[in-house]
Copies of this chain bind each other. A is one copy, B any other.
Amino acid sequence: MSTQTAAQRRVEAKTSYNAFMEGCPSRQLLDRISDKWVALILAALGSDGPHRPGVDHDYGPRSMRFSELSRRLAGASQKMLTQTLRSLEVDGLITRTVTPTVPVTVTYELTDLGLSLNRVMAELKGWAESHMGEVLAHREAHHRVAAED
């Protein structure tokens, strides 16, 4: 009963480890914000930009229509946009408001929770802007060494 114990123990360890990973709050947060469009959507809703022609006094979290988001996040398919917005709504990070006008109007807005997350994202952005240059420099240096090898 000891021939396969080694392999079994590995599997067991892996299983419990995966369970730990999935339950880890940090991991869950990383999975959430590393989503390709999440950061962009949050940033867009956050207070990012000055533009809605004719309106320049909108500070703080803004509500935006689907089409406006779609325009600002050019490059995102409607599918991904919708999908990401849904998941953010489910997670309580944004609100979705449907106004039954003739062609229906849907607006999205950050919740307080979403706003607080935005602040964390800002920290990340700060580190990125001040240190990613170093990272890229290291990367290039190593590539040069590899090239002349």
Contact = CB atoms under 8 A, between A and B. Distances in A.
B129 A26 contact: yes
Interface stretch (A30-38, A58-66, A100-108): A30-38
A7 interface: no
Nearest to A13: B74
A91 B28 CA distance: 25
A80 interface: no
Nearest to A126: B120
Q: How would you classify the secondary structure of chain A's contact residues: helix, strand, loop or mixed?
A: helix
How many copies of the polypeptide does the oligomer hold? Answer: 2
A13 B77 CA distance: 12
22 contacts: A13-B74, A13-B75, A17-B75, A18-B75, A21-B75, A25-B128, A25-B132, A26-B129, A28-B128, A28-B135, A28-B136, A90-B138, A90-B139, A91-B138, A92-B138, A93-B135, A113-B131, A113-B134, A113-B135, A116-B127, A117-B127, A117-B131
Interface of A: 10, 13-14, 17-18, 21, 25-34, 39, 74-75, 89-93, 113, 116-117, 120-121, 123-125, 127-129, 131-139, 142-143
